Structure 1
């Protein structure tokens, strides 16, 4: 008993003495990820006035929307490999710098003259934005696994994941105001310019735990003792070679496949919000661009609150000695049950009711969006970046499929009713993945290959 009391006293003293540098790291990830999603949403906010001015049809715009995701998916595995080989700090810097640069260039596409040249350049530049952004979320997962102990990782992942909603809260009104007072091109210039500035701030803030200039040894000891991996890939020590056999092991795992497919279902809701949601508000519900920008704030804010709440609940359950599997799955299932409420927008007519059900749906999506926390929990220590890239590749295939499918639905039906049903069904798909396929959530151990 005396030894136990001494151990508890030592643990309490250690917690009191260590710094909180990891929270500054998380704040930086949060800000950068907010800009990541802000840049993804630039085209959707500009789409209505751009289409009207340039004569771009809905199916064509659907393909342009999808260009980002084509490249984003293609770049996931190479991006994850780069993170594991060269480290999150350097790779993330170039990712942020390049996607911001290509975003600026989109604002100049109107000068090309012919509609075919404009459409081609829009598709190409969005493709390059997607390719440049591909290391971002695997990088977030790698940094979270390095800096945060297991019992804090759900909250950390929920916070950086929820920045996608916070991004809309901040940037949707800003971009709506830019369109209303200036022109649609200004969205791309402002967002891209701010991103380039942030890329240089990133280099001053982000380091691995062992190499950070302000962290004290007590914090490194504490997070390591509680499950943090400490390595962001900056170490010069020899690294195990990742082989195709390792990748095949992940693809053969029922747990990993369930997580990958579940992320696809989750991202179907995400990409509806990032691409067609402002168009839905303008064309189906007859709001102005400025009104649509402010109307998008309520669902986004609810998604943000739900996202933080989901991470807090999950980590609280772990601290209550519930299993990791139960602690992660409960918020996921409850959250996506709520997300099915998006279908109710087909049965109401008032703007207030539409915003209510959209807000409820995205609150639920926020609560349930623990995929990146789960990935930090289960990815093999040798290939966290690549595992995150594989999950993101599966998940962001939804970014290819969803905009195109909805574009065809609109062309065939002239209404968003079937589109909202399509999105809601994917919330059910996420529930089935985690309840039927995934099974026990635990760290995946690679088998030695010879």
Structure 2
């Protein structure tokens, strides 16, 4: 039977499920600290300023390790890189449950950042390899739901576990699950041209619309490649935009539970229920953004317009977070936070744009540089909020900062990002 009459298999959907679960574990592991922070701060006697440093420590090493992680990915491929990363970051998560001081906690968080660094460049490479262009935004939105699903839908359970079993149990249980999944990933994932589950019809479908199904040739690191990528206007604009949307994301992943417990004076279980709602909204926003982008593309509009529209719309919605400053009702605050986080979810299409821009031979390095720039938000945002809360006793200035960064992202996508088209390889 020839590929012209053969029905395409759906192996790409199974690979997407693996990526979605891995991404959920990735974000769940890095955000458990936000759930544990109120109780951990009391037990370990950590003040707001130091806790801001603890939150930021992950992003220090995460950002620094982006380029090495991308180079490792280009050299050793998605299968091996992701498996090592999963087992590594899960082991560091388990270690967080044993810390007895803020210094030890910072050290473990630094290790967690290094181990998680290759995840999103690898996700981008999966998009390039397994999905035709017309399906990429939707695929990006589906695995990105994992960023919010773990902490959002599991928040009441996580808060209950912390209340009844202690905050240390959170890290032991989730970390153990991640180690098991890392082994499962290695057994199940392959590139399209090597996977036993895919047939020629599916490979043809992927290749016909811009997918790169062949395993990439290993490539050594070159500073000239970094220089080449750093001169690309759309990469610069997308990096600034992702920094902006990451600022909103980082607030919810780090300080939001503390904001509910201290600024809004909620007890833990109430905070757990309320914390779930914005994450659910963000999950919906991610799916809406992906569907909107692919639908606009299928309607005949340009690829550039289709990828930029949901991002700009979502960033504009994120600016409403500042209005929470003047609201007294807890329900109204959660509604505003949900709108802002819904917008952040919509704007989380930066990785889809990168999958369109990245040179074929530099997918890992491009993703690493992109994530390095964008995750500076993970360094700056927790410290800014921690310092302002420590000095003023209020989240007022922190929320203003997050809203201002969202507006910066709007301006970058409108005026800096140019065309969404694959850059040629530099040699």
Normalised by the length of structure 2, the TM-score is: 0.97
Structure 1 pair 198/239, CA: closer, same or farther in 2 (3 Å)? closer
Cα distance in 1 for partners of 2:383, 2:42 equals 19
Tell me by how many angstroms 1:105 deviates: 1.0
Contact 2:153–2:280 (CA under 8 A) maintained in structure 1 = no
1:292 is aligned to 2:292: no
Cα distance in 2 for partners of 1:132, 1:239 equals 21
What is the aligned partner in structure 2 of residue 86 from structure 1?
76
Tell me by how many angstroms 1:232 deviates: 5.2
Tell me by how many angstroms 1:321 deviates: 1.5
Cα distance in 1 for partners of 2:214, 2:42 equals 49
Cα distance in 2 for partners of 1:127, 1:183 equals 23
Tell me by how many angstroms 1:169 deviates: 2.2
1:393 is aligned to 2:372: yes
1:384 is aligned to 2:363: yes
* Structure of higher CA gyration radius: 1
Q: How many residues align?
A: 426
Q: What is the SS of the residue equivalent to 2:375?
A: helix
Cα distance in 2 for partners of 1:203, 1:436 equals 42
Q: What is the SS of the residue equivalent to 1:439?
A: coil
1:221 is aligned to 2:204: yes
Cα distance in 2 for partners of 1:414, 1:303 equals 28
Cα distance in 2 for partners of 1:330, 1:287 equals 37
What is the aligned partner in structure 1 of residue 331 from structure 2?
352
Contact 1:249–1:446 (CA under 8 A) maintained in structure 2 = no
Tell me by how many angstroms 1:185 deviates: 0.5
What is the aligned partner in structure 2 of residue 211 from structure 1?
194
Cα distance in 1 for partners of 2:353, 2:399 equals 27
Tell me by how many angstroms 1:231 deviates: 4.0
Cα distance in 2 for partners of 1:336, 1:232 equals 35
1:269 is aligned to 2:256: no
Tell me by how many angstroms 1:354 deviates: 0.7
Tell me by how many angstroms 1:241 deviates: 4.4
Cα distance in 2 for partners of 1:86, 1:447 equals 20
Contact 2:75–2:219 (CA under 8 A) maintained in structure 1 = no
Q: What is the SS of the residue equivalent to 2:198?
A: coil
Cα distance in 1 for partners of 2:46, 2:219 equals 49
Contact 1:246–1:446 (CA under 8 A) maintained in structure 2 = no
Q: What is the SS of the residue equivalent to 1:17?
A: coil
Tell me by how many angstroms 1:311 deviates: 0.7
What is the aligned partner in structure 1 of residue 130 from structure 2?
147
Contact 2:19–2:143 (CA under 8 A) maintained in structure 1 = yes
Structure 1 residues 286-295 or 79-88, which shifts more?
286-295
Contact 2:89–2:115 (CA under 8 A) maintained in structure 1 = yes
User: Structure 1 residue aligned with 2:38, among 37, 48, 63?
Assistant: 48
What is the aligned partner in structure 1 of residue 318 from structure 2?
339
**Which residues of structure 1 form unaligned runs of 5+?**
1-9, 111-117
Cα distance in 1 for partners of 2:18, 2:273 equals 26
**Which residues of structure 2 form unaligned runs of 5+?**
none
Within 5 Å, give how 1:72-83 maps onto structure 2.
72-83=62-73
CA-to-aligned-CA distance 1:163-199 (integer Å, 9 cap, x gap): 2111222332221011111101111111101111111
What RMSD, in angstroms, separates the aligned Cα atoms of the two structures? 1.5
Structure 1 pair 232/306, CA: closer, same or farther in 2 (3 Å)? farther
Cα distance in 2 for partners of 1:64, 1:239 equals 36
What is the aligned partner in structure 1 of residue 422 from structure 2?
443
What is the aligned partner in structure 2 of residue 3 from structure 1?
none
Tell me by how many angstroms 1:224 deviates: 1.0
CA-to-aligned-CA distance 1:126-170 (integer Å, 9 cap, x gap): 100110000001010001110000010111112212221112223
Contact 1:95–1:136 (CA under 8 A) maintained in structure 2 = yes
Tell me by how many angstroms 1:308 deviates: 0.8
CA-to-aligned-CA distance 1:235-267 (integer Å, 9 cap, x gap): xxx545442112101111211111111111111
Cα distance in 2 for partners of 1:72, 1:283 equals 28
CA-to-aligned-CA distance 1:54-92 (integer Å, 9 cap, x gap): 211110111111110001001100000111110011011
Normalised by the length of structure 1, the TM-score is: 0.92
User: Structure 2 residue aligned with 1:282, among 255, 261, 269?
Assistant: 261
Cα distance in 2 for partners of 1:79, 1:290 equals 38
Contact 2:234–2:420 (CA under 8 A) maintained in structure 1 = yes
Structure 1 pair 253/184, CA: closer, same or farther in 2 (3 Å)? same
Tell me by how many angstroms 1:307 deviates: 0.4
